[in-house]
Chain A
Amino acid sequence: MEMAKQEIRIGVYVCHCGLNIAGSVDCEEVAKFAASLPNVVLAKDYRYTCSDQGQELIKKDIRENRLNRVVVASCTPRLHEPTFRKVCEEAGLNKYLFEMANIREQCSWVHLHDREAATEKAKDLVKMAVAKAALLAPAEEIEVPIIRKALVIGGGVAGIQVALDLADTGYKVYLVEKQPSIGGMMARIDKTFPTMDCSICILAPKMSDVGHHPNIELLANSEVIDVKGYIGNFHVKVLKKPRYVKEDCTACGDCSKVCPITAPNEFDAGLALRHAIYTPFAQAVPSTYIIDMNLCLNKDEIMVCDKCIKACERQAIDFTMKPETVELEVGTIIVATGTDVFDPSTLPNYGYGKYLNVITSLEFERLINAGGPSGGRLIRPSDMKIPKRVAFIQCVGSRSNKSGRTYCSNVCCMNTIKDSLLIKEHWPETEIYVFYVDIRAYGKGFEDLYKRAKNERAIFIRGLPAEIIEDPKTRNLWLIGENTLLKEPYKLNFDLVILSVGLEPRKDSEIIQRLLTLSRTQDGFFMEAHPKLRPVDAATGGIFFAGCAEAPKDIKDSVTQASAAAARAGILMAKGKVTVEAITPVLDVEKCKACGLCTKVCPYNAITLNKELKRVEIVEAACGGCGTCAAECPSDALTQSHFTDEQIMAQIDAVTEHDAEKKIVAFCCNWCAYAGADFAGVSRMQYPPNVRIIRTMCSGRVAPKFVERAFARGAAAVLVAGCHPGDCHYINANYQTQKRVERLWRKMEQNGLDKERLQLLWVTAAEGERFASKIREMQKLIEKVTMEEIELAKRVFAKAGGA
């Protein structure tokens, strides 16, 4: 409140950025204009404001001219906001009293050939920034303590690596695995590329380390069923399903031998049998046997068969075990849930599921594995003979629109090359054909392996078979396709066909997504916070990804990512506390009517309704800072710090002060739309200069009253732009955007307004052209908007907009 009484003294710096800005904007004139604005005590133009000299200039002015707000008109805040904030702090000014006007990416670079209009636009942008700056308030970032324990979900190679790294660093780790044993996909593979190491031989020691590590608590045969809390303070419930075998088990296997019930073993892709009491594979960790209650005869506590009990010398079998719920408090969570393989029976032309000798690459791994069902002999399932001619078909369930899996599965090419070498190693006479569309041997040592396969005379044919036809007598398979390099059809006969199946998101990803409020890409894999610079962080604080949960990857990449995730989680836990940007909502207790609407729209469950106190409560540490609660609140009780209603309204008013009927007011979310507009600038895509962009963190912050205010003040058109649905950086806050815009459209139609004047655009940070063409399209639109229509909109929204 003290600040409010204080005289507001704003300093404005208009940057030339060499000729980047000055080339199409008259910076001097903009600075002159800025000086005339209310509260501005000084305005200067400068060649490179971000240079050391530029920074010193600002610091000096702050001290000498008692500036208490600073506006820099230069590049995008996504680039230099942190720089100038630091400058302010060093000069003793709170960093939240700084504001930027983006006159490079969103002005000079996109209006290279219209100096006059670009200069006018730059003036407007400075005016908006000054208007907002006058209303800025200082803020302190809050600190949250972090529990120094981690939860790892998934015990494949990635989960194992994360758990070991964190445990070795000294943190307590809970490793939750759904299956009876850890090991995941890697345990099922025979050899690894490009080194041809035996997969289980290099994995088993790690698995047993996990089993013995004093800092790791392994919860196998368990599932995460509930997660509450926020970064540093997660409260997790894990359902530990009974094994019905106590830890006294020595894994001697006597019980399994006497068990009368058999079923296909999942670990062996159904190629071998297991019993109702079993261990999935010899090296399993924990090695304790387990009883599959779906198969066991002793159901509903009726003891029908006691053979295993009798066979067990250690008396380790206990049918009275019950599921239990374990509650954990952890500071960080690492998602390493892995991947599923594509089911090729959905491709009828390949006959998988019908033709015995068409197998998947995973089935192949079990067949070629010495510990597998055939003892390492690659056999044809139809007659158990060793095949002489083998074909691999690539991209089965990858890179295909039809199967809905448009991505490259990353590992299949190298896996096939490795497999072909394995066959050649054991049976050098085997003829091997690989049918592919592109061979991707991009990693270290991959090309050498590819060359080796070629050297061993594996034949690579470009062109996938269109269909496989089985000869019913021999069970051999005809592959019919086109060699696209020779432009010749082929019809080739093989003894065994291996479908190189792609990887796909786990079918239970949705559960994890919901429990941890994560987002997924269109492919269905979990989405990282930033594809380049934060590749293992989830958008939700305190959660990290490792392995195929994030995208298909090979073992090396999984392990690399796992160690990265461990390091990222370790950084948080080592610090023991985290600061949260001061853009969280502030509640006006007097105004809150406890309607609870905000609790429903909050993507982070950071707002809870306290029925006793008749108000909501905000958990600042859990808040992501999207501001959709503030947009939703019907009684204006919630305000998002640094993006307050007053500040945004002031920006709108600044835009619409002159020539509003020629302007487009655009609200862009920081992450996708604003970044997309920046990208258009960086790429020098030219578009009409009549748009004025107002930045919010999320399009979910755009309250209907902002749009109404813009129309009430005579704006020709309004654009609301955000991330594509599903890509929202605040999980799903942009679904609220959509709802609000749809409501506004209805209102406009009811009042006889052309709803086209309000546009909604989903655009990614990479879709600069999409943004630019939208503005071009809207320019055509506003040229047609008549003064009568503008006046009508003013009248319709006069009350609501409060202009």
Chain B
Amino acid sequence: MPERHWRTPLDAEKAVRPKAEIHIIKDQCKGCGFCIQYCPKKVLEESDEINARGVHPPRVVDEKECIICSFCTAVCPDFAIFVKEKQCKDGC
């Protein structure tokens, strides 16, 4: 399409986005980094802390960006990460 789109679409605020709740079982992580590498929205990064297995588990950068594709769960060899959709209460 030829036109340049510089405006924020009018319905940008109305767009429903899934609200994610990312659960990381830190001590189960062995630090392979797959979840960080494969996350399509780059929601995760390596944290500074050291877990029971002596590695850096991932940390959530911005939960709002997560689209709950659950690919992290799929690639995690140690079942150390899963995502749930936040149940919507008032004000979410």
List A residues at the B interface (Cβ < 8 Å).
179, 260-262, 264-266, 268-273, 297, 302, 304-307, 340-341, 343, 345, 353, 356, 360, 362, 373-374, 379, 381, 384, 506-507
B71 and A305 contact, CB distance less than 8 A: yes
**A-B pairs with beta carbons under 8 Å apart, 22 shown:** A260-B68, A262-B15, A264-B9, A265-B9, A266-B5, A271-B7, A272-B9, A272-B10, A272-B11, A273-B11, A273-B12, A273-B15, A297-B67, A297-B69, A304-B40, A304-B71, A305-B69, A305-B71, A341-B3, A343-B2, A373-B10, A381-B7
Q: Which residues of B lie under 8 Å from residue A373 when comparing CB positions? A: 9-11
Report the minimum CB–CB distance from B6 to chain A (whole Å).
5
Give the contacting residue for A273; candidates B9, B38, B40; CB below 8 A.
B9
Whether B18 is near chain A, meaning CB under 8 Å from some CB there, is yes
Give the contacting residue for B9; candidates A271, A379, A507; CB below 8 A.
A271
Report the minimum CB–CB distance from A491 to chain B (whole Å).
27
Closest 6 CB pairs of A and B: A270-B5, A260-B67, A266-B1, A305-B69, A340-B2, A297-B40
A362 and B40 contact, CB distance less than 8 A: no
B2 and A341 contact, CB distance less than 8 A: yes
Give the contacting residue for B2; candidates A264, A297, A506; CB below 8 A.
A506
Report the minimum CB–CB distance from B43 to chain A (whole Å).
12
Q: Which residue of A lies closest to B71 (CB)?
A: A304
Report the minimum CB–CB distance from A43 to chain B (whole Å).
64
Q: Which residue of B lies closest to A366 (CB)?
A: B10
Q: Which residues of A lie under 8 Å from residue B15 when comparing CB positions? A: 262, 273
A343 and B40 contact, CB distance less than 8 A: no
Give the contacting residue for A343; candidates B3, B9, B68; CB below 8 A.
B3
Expressed in whole angstroms, the Cα–Cα distance for A379 and B40 within the complex equals 36
Q: Which residues of B lie under 8 Å from residue A265 when comparing CB positions? A: 9
List B residues at the A interface (Cβ < 8 Å).
1-7, 9-12, 15, 17-18, 38, 40-41, 67-69, 71
Report the minimum CB–CB distance from A340 to chain B (whole Å).
4
Q: Which residues of B lie under 8 Å from residue A273 when comparing CB positions? A: 9, 11-12, 15
How many residue pairs between the two chains, A and B, have CB atoms under 8 Å in the bound complex? 71
Expressed in whole angstroms, the Cα–Cα distance for A373 and B8 within the complex equals 12
Give the contacting residue for A269; candidates B3, B12, B38, B71; CB below 8 A.
B3
Report the minimum CB–CB distance from B69 to chain A (whole Å).
4
> Apart from A273-B12, A340-B2, A345-B6, what are 11 other A-B pairs with CB-CB below 8 Å?
A179-B1, A262-B15, A266-B3, A270-B5, A270-B6, A273-B11, A273-B15, A297-B41, A297-B69, A304-B40, A305-B40
Q: Which residue of B lies closest to A372 (CB)?
A: B10
Report the minimum CB–CB distance from B66 to chain A (whole Å).
9
Q: Which residue of A lies closest to B10 (CB)?
A: A373
Q: Which residue of A lies closest to B5 (CB)?
A: A270
Report the minimum CB–CB distance from A280 to chain B (whole Å).
10
Q: Which residues of A lie under 8 Å from residue B68 when comparing CB positions? A: 260
Q: Which residues of B lie under 8 Å from residue A341 when comparing CB positions? A: 2-3
Report the minimum CB–CB distance from A223 to chain B (whole Å).
14
Expressed in whole angstroms, the Cα–Cα distance for A384 and B38 within the complex equals 40
Report the minimum CB–CB distance from A506 to chain B (whole Å).
7
Give the contacting residue for A260; candidates B4, B9, B18; CB below 8 A.
B18
Report the minimum CB–CB distance from B57 to chain A (whole Å).
21
Q: Which residue of A lies closest to B17 (CB)?
A: A260
Expressed in whole angstroms, the Cα–Cα distance for A341 and B1 within the complex equals 10
B4 and A353 contact, CB distance less than 8 A: yes
Q: Which residues of A lie under 8 Å from residue B12 when comparing CB positions? A: 273
Q: Which residue of B lies closest to A379 (CB)?
A: B10
Q: Which residues of B lie under 8 Å from residue A266 when comparing CB positions? A: 1, 3, 5
Expressed in whole angstroms, the Cα–Cα distance for A307 and B85 within the complex equals 13
Q: Which residues of B lie under 8 Å from residue A264 when comparing CB positions? A: 5, 7, 9
Expressed in whole angstroms, the Cα–Cα distance for A297 and B41 within the complex equals 9
Knowing A343-B2, A506-B2, the reply to whether A270 touches B40 (Cβ < 8 A) is no
B3 and A381 contact, CB distance less than 8 A: no
Report the minimum CB–CB distance from B9 to chain A (whole Å).
5
Expressed in whole angstroms, the Cα–Cα distance for A271 and B6 within the complex equals 9
Expressed in whole angstroms, the Cα–Cα distance for A381 and B40 within the complex equals 32
Q: Which residue of B lies closest to A306 (CB)?
A: B69
Q: Which residue of B lies closest to A507 (CB)?
A: B2
B5 and A384 contact, CB distance less than 8 A: no
Expressed in whole angstroms, the Cα–Cα distance for A699 and B71 within the complex equals 67
Expressed in whole angstroms, the Cα–Cα distance for A241 and B45 within the complex equals 36
Report the minimum CB–CB distance from B60 to chain A (whole Å).
17
Q: Which residue of B lies closest to A381 (CB)?
A: B7
Expressed in whole angstroms, the Cα–Cα distance for A589 and B59 within the complex equals 79
A260 and B69 contact, CB distance less than 8 A: yes
Report the minimum CB–CB distance from B14 to chain A (whole Å).
8
A270 and B3 contact, CB distance less than 8 A: yes
Expressed in whole angstroms, the Cα–Cα distance for A307 and B18 within the complex equals 12
Expressed in whole angstroms, the Cα–Cα distance for A271 and B38 within the complex equals 32
Q: Which residues of B lie under 8 Å from residue A374 when comparing CB positions? A: 10
B69 and A384 contact, CB distance less than 8 A: no
Q: Which residues of A lie under 8 Å from residue B1 when comparing CB positions? A: 179, 266
Q: Which residues of A lie under 8 Å from residue B41 when comparing CB positions? A: 297
Report the minimum CB–CB distance from B76 to chain A (whole Å).
14
Report the minimum CB–CB distance from A775 to chain B (whole Å).
46
Expressed in whole angstroms, the Cα–Cα distance for A270 and B6 within the complex equals 8
Expressed in whole angstroms, the Cα–Cα distance for A302 and B71 within the complex equals 10
B10 and A271 contact, CB distance less than 8 A: yes
A261 and B67 contact, CB distance less than 8 A: yes
Q: Which residues of B lie under 8 Å from residue A261 when comparing CB positions? A: 67
A305 and B67 contact, CB distance less than 8 A: yes
Expressed in whole angstroms, the Cα–Cα distance for A343 and B5 within the complex equals 10
B7 and A270 contact, CB distance less than 8 A: yes
B2 and A381 contact, CB distance less than 8 A: no
